[in-house]
Amino acid sequence: MKKVFVVLALALTLAGCETARQDRALGGALIGGGTGALIGGLAGRSAGAAVAGGVIGAAAGAIIADSTRPGRCYYYTRSGHKRYTRCR
């Protein structure tokens, strides 16, 4: 039981070192993972389906949260590269 508390304390300590972008992706992953696990568990009626749904939901949530950051616009350069800038 002590190991669990040590791991939780270390995780909370390291969570304070994140940037805003990482924080947004982590929040999206948590929401997506929880939702995916719930839907997977209900649809598949097994623990394996809940785990698979949670993993897929976490990945999708992190990607969507990162790509929908407010205040970030993009444009393409002449060479075709995507560049991000602040929206005006």
Provide the domain count of the chain: 1
**For residue 6, is it within any domain?**
no
Judge contact between 35 and 57, C-beta under 8 A: yes
Q: Which residues contact 35 (CB under 8 A, 6 or more apart)?
A: 57, 61
Judge contact between 72 and 48, C-beta under 8 A: no
Residue 12 has pLDDT above 80, yes or no: no
pLDDT at 7: 66
Against a cut of 0.75, is the pTM above it? no
**For residue 4, is it within any domain?**
no
**For residue 67, is it within any domain?**
yes
> Backbone phi, then psi, for 15, in 5-degree steps?
-65, -25
**For residue 65, is it within any domain?**
yes
**For residue 25, is it within any domain?**
yes
- Which amino acid makes up residue 61? G
pLDDT at 58: 92
Domain that holds residue 74: 19-86
Pairwise CA distance, residues 76 & 26, whole Å: 28
**For residue 2, is it within any domain?**
no
**For residue 7, is it within any domain?**
no
**For residue 47, is it within any domain?**
yes
SS3 labels along 10-41: HHHHHHCCCCHHHHHHHHHHHHHHHHHHHHHH
Q: What is the pLDDT of residues 26-79, one digit of tens each?
A: 888 888 998 999 999 999 988 899 999 999 999 999 888 887 777 677 788 899
